[in-house]
Amino acid sequence: MPTELPSIILDCDPGHDDAIAILVAARHTRVLGITTVAGNAPLSATTRNAIIVRDLVGLAAPVHSGAERPLIQTPKHADYVHGKSGMDGADLPEPSGPPASTDAVGFIIETCRANEGTWLVPTGPMTNIALALRAAPDLKDRIAGISLMGGGLFGNRTAAAEFNLWCDPEAAHIVFSYGGPLIMAGLDVTHQFQALPHRIEMVRALPGVLARVLADLLDFFSGTYTSRHHGIGGAAVHDPLAVMALTHPELFTVKNAHVDIAMGDPRTMGMTIIDQRDLREVPPGNCEWLTHVQADAAWDVVVEAIAHFSH
């Protein structure tokens, strides 16, 4: 495990698995702020959920809301996975207040300029991050990198595309071509990390409100996965892996790869084109592609974080 905590901005659309990402980030990183984007649910809902989870884990970091819609595409949500609220399934407390601002993009730019070496961790559609990179090209050389959840060898929203990248493929294209360090937690690794029944029981066995809320959220999340998929043991808990790639790199197998984003054709838009050809003409890698996670050990990280914050 790295000795110094990485400084991060978590850009998310909670989202059951985004909630787990906030939890792990609170335990193992210096969270400079949480920014929200429309994705799993409309922006008002994802922002509300982010504030609730931030409060539950007792984090002081500000929450700034951002883009209400993708750069070009029409907004689309994932209530078939996360419910209408974006985080259905638990009796949630009210948020402690409104977001610190509605200018997530300005917050990202200012914070990255003031804190060189910050990691951006997007776990929703990449609209805010793309807008920040476009408005402030100097960020490329100021940030440590971008560790994102999205893409992979197969799709979930379409045959080709993963949800976050399918929602805003143009933003994803800007992110994947920004030219600095990039880590991709795609579906091929996140589907190795499932909220199996015995793993949810480990959470439910812990004392406190946070543990109860997260166990209820994971039950709902796994319910939608097991009802929609053939033969899956529980929900794929995607988003915390983008955080753990920074905090627990020893849990992952990684391949350097060149990854491009398909745009335009609705059949493939948002697809990550991972160049696996064994040819000299293949362009240099732009991405550290996570290919394997030690799932039991990664789940222990989640459980320890809940035990730490839940009383």
Question: CB neighbours of 12 closer than 8 A, spacing ≥ 6?
Answer: 18, 21, 22, 34, 35, 36, 37, 46, 50, 122, 123, 124, 239
Asked if 247 touches ligand BDR (CB under 6 A), the answer is no
- Does the protein bind ligand BDR through residue 77 (CB under 6 A)? no
**Whose Cβ is closer to Ca ion: residue 6's or residue 240's?**
240
Q: Are 121 and 161 in contact (CB under 8 A)?
A: no
Question: Is 64 noted as a catalytic residue in this protein?
Answer: no
Asked whether position 149 contacts ligand BDR by CB under 6 A, the answer is yes
Is residue 220 within the footprint of ligand BDR (CB under 6 A)? no
Q: C-beta of 1: minimal distance to Ca ion in Å?
A: 24
Q: Side-chain half-sphere of 187: how many Cα atoms within 13 Å?
A: 20
Q: Does 270 participate in binding Ca ion (rule CB under 5 A)?
A: no
Q: 93 Cβ partners below 8 Å, 6+ apart?
A: 52, 55, 56, 209
What is the nearest approach in angstroms of Ca ion to the Cβ of residue 163?
8
Among 162, 170, 219, 288, binds ligand BDR (CB under 6 A): 162
Q: Which does 163 bind (CB under 5 to 8 A by kind): ligand BDR, Ca ion, none?
A: ligand BDR
Does residue 287 contact residue 180 with C-beta atoms inside 8 Å? no
**Options 163, 220, 225, 309; binder of ligand BDR; rule CB under 6 A:** 163
Binding partner of 162, given ligand BDR, Ca ion, none, CB within 5-8 angstroms per partner class: ligand BDR
Taking CB under 5 A as the criterion, the residue among 8, 9, 16, 18 binding Ca ion is 18
Distance separating alpha carbons of residues 161 and 76, to the nearest angstrom: 14
Query: Does the footprint of Ca ion cover residue 194 (CB under 5 A)?
Result: no
Q: Residues 6 or more apart from 68 whose CB is under 8 A from it?
A: 38, 42, 43, 75
CB count, 10 Å around CB of 62?
A: 17
Q: Which amino acid is at 213?
A: V
In the complex, minimum distance from the CB of residue 193 to ligand BDR, in angstroms, rounded to a whole number = 12
Q: Which parts of 107-126 interact with Ca ion (CB under 5 A)?
A: 123-124
Q: Considering CB distances under 5 to 8 angstroms, the limit depending on partner class, which of ligand BDR, Ca ion, none binds residue 46?
A: none
Q: Could you give the strand order of the β-sheet that contains 63-65, starting from the edge strand earlier in sequence? A: 63-65, 30-36, 7-12, 119-122, 145-149, 182-185, 287-293, 252-261, 272-275
From the list 51-59, 158-166, 168-176, 255-263, the region that binds ligand BDR by CB under 6 A is 158-166
> Please, which of residues 94-133 interact with ligand BDR by CB under 6 A?
123-124
Q: How far is CA 1 from CA 137, 142, 303, in A?
A: 31, 23, 17
Of 9-17, 43-51, 54-62, 290-298, the segment contacting Ca ion by CB under 5 A is 9-17
Q: Give the single-character DSSP code of 93.
A: P
Cα distance between residue 270 and residue 80, in whole Å: 19
Annotated active-site positions, please? 238
Residues making contact with ligand BDR (CB under 6 A) = 15, 17-18, 40, 78, 81, 123-124, 149, 156, 162-164, 238-239
